[in-house]
Amino acid sequence: MLKSSLLEIIRSFSKQDLLKFEDFVRSPYFNKKENVSRLFMEIKNYAPSFTDGNLEKEKTWAKLFPGTEYNYGIMKNLIHDLTKLSDSFIAIEYSNADKLKSNIDLLAALLQRQISKVFSAKYDMTEKIYIDPALKNESYKMEQYYDFLFKLKLLKAIYNRLHNPGSSSFEYITESGNYFLYSAVINFYKYYNNYLAFNDRHIQVKDSTAETFLNGLNKNFIPDLIKKVKTNSEREYKILKCFYEMNIALNPDADISCYNNFKKSLQDCSDIIPRGDLKDLLVCLNNSLTKIREGKSNTGINSNREILEISNMEIENNLFLQPNGVMDQNSYINYILTAFTLREYESIEIFVKKFGSKIPEDRRENVNNYSQAHISFGKKEFDKSLEYLSKINHDFFNMKHLVRDIQMMNYYELNDYVSFDFALDSYKHFIAKNKSVTPHNRSLSEDFCNNIKKLFRLRESFDKFELEKVRKEIINNKLINKYWILDKLSEIENNNS
């Protein structure tokens, strides 16, 4: 039984889930077999891991039916029945958590049973709660909300037709159709985003059904629909426009203007869409930026500045932490690196104070030392920065090359070429031998080290022509800490003017 689907499901239960499931199993409405209830009560003794050897079938049988010979068929049926109950339990819990669906199901049941007075009262109460909620605080997605309104208005139209013929059904059926279209459009745009994300082909298939349908929507339908919606509802206009601009910005042919239009639309509706959608749209904005800067249309855009702005939008909208309140380590480090690249040292300090305690405890010390090394560097306390770096446990692999990058910068600021050269030799061996370092990161790290070496040479023996040559290379290439290197070149130039 240890490897059964029953225990796999039960292991996912929280303490509260176990209590609720016990009530569920004991309820005669769901289960009339006493031995199935007894089986669960025996299993429950081994919470929360449910991995004890006593959960083997034969041992569980001995507890349930002491002194009785083991019967494989009966035990199999008991496990099967309890598994079906666990399936039903998680399905019901999932359904009950969907407030929108629960309300619609109740209204539909009342209408089907022709309980008209109760339907009318429940409808009015439901409409009052959901017709104009603070969507930002809700857990459901926009397409779910519009689908709910589509069904709500449709039920009202049917009710009026059957029980209130003196009132208008047409008004409600029209509204219902509008919400159906809004839900369908957002659903399709979300589907298409997934289609692009899962498409692992180097050349996109332009004649797929999805592509054909989307092109027809965007060219002949959506722009006019959005204009029409604006005359009726500013909120719905902003939301639909945002998803439309998202789709355009994620298209392989998108340019920087598409990204900027999407960003503007997202900013305009950040206070009126659910948190889950806002989080996903910010991810899409970042994906759009990544595709554009990797293409040919990235002229005039500071991608690091844009990335930092997107991260700050997540922070402002309380979306930076995971649902369990823990900070994702990679997101944390990426924020520090991006702010550091932009020389936003004060932003790093504010960020660390706000989120440093949210890193998982087993990684917190390393991440904190790494963060403080950047803060000290920004304050020109280079020896202190090196001290923090020396405290980092280097078995923590994914920080190794990041630690060495700032270490090199500190040695340059301290004009310590001996230490730099020693560290450089060690760094080259590390990136050459470690298979976990990707060719792309290896190339970036090698270029970064070579550029610092050039800075040392120019500071020692100034050559205007050579400096301009290096500056041009830096400007025209994607490099680690590009702006810091350019600052150092200007510093050398000013000191020799």
Q: Is pLDDT above 90 for 205?
A: no
User: What does the pLDDT read at residue 77?
Assistant: 95
User: What does the pLDDT read at residue 182?
Assistant: 95
Q: Is pLDDT above 90 for 404?
A: no
Query: What mean pLDDT, rounded, does the chain reach?
Result: 89
User: What does the pLDDT read at residue 260?
Assistant: 95
Reported confidence tier of residue 296, pLDDT bands at 50, 70, 90:
low
Q: Is pLDDT above 90 for 254?
A: no
User: What does the pLDDT read at residue 396?
Assistant: 58
User: What does the pLDDT read at residue 295?
Assistant: 58
Reported confidence tier of residue 328, pLDDT bands at 50, 70, 90:
confident
Please state the rounded mean pLDDT for residues 250-271.
Answer: 92
User: What does the pLDDT read at residue 63?
Assistant: 92
Q: Which of 128-137, 303-312, 476-485 has the lowest average pLDDT?
A: 476-485
Q: Is pLDDT above 80 for 225?
A: yes
Q: Which of 391-400, 403-412, 468-477 has the lowest average pLDDT?
A: 391-400
User: What does the pLDDT read at residue 434?
Assistant: 72
Highest mean pLDDT among 166-175, 297-306, 431-440: 166-175
Q: Which of 80-94, 132-146, 213-227, 387-401 has the lowest average pLDDT?
A: 387-401
User: What does the pLDDT read at residue 301?
Assistant: 79
Reported confidence tier of residue 368, pLDDT bands at 50, 70, 90:
very high
Q: Token pair 């029945």 is at which residue?
A: 81
Q: Is pLDDT above 60 for 327?
A: yes
User: What does the pLDDT read at residue 202?
Assistant: 55
User: What does the pLDDT read at residue 478?
Assistant: 77
What are 410-466's pLDDT values in tens digits?
999 999 999 999 988 888 887 777 776 777 777 888 888 899 999 999 999 999 999
Please state the rounded mean pLDDT for residues 396-420.
Answer: 86
Q: What percent of the chain has pLDDT above 70? A: 95
pTM above 0.85, yes or no: no
Q: Rounded CA gap, 414 and 398, in Å?
A: 26
Q: Which of 177-191, 202-216, 323-337, 445-459 has the lowest average pLDDT?
A: 202-216
Cis peptide before 223 (omega within 30 of 0): no
Q: Which of 135-144, 211-220, 369-378, 447-456 has the lowest average pLDDT?
A: 211-220
Reported confidence tier of residue 114, pLDDT bands at 50, 70, 90:
very high
Number of residues assigned to the chain: 497
Reported confidence tier of residue 291, pLDDT bands at 50, 70, 90:
confident
User: What does the pLDDT read at residue 192?
Assistant: 85
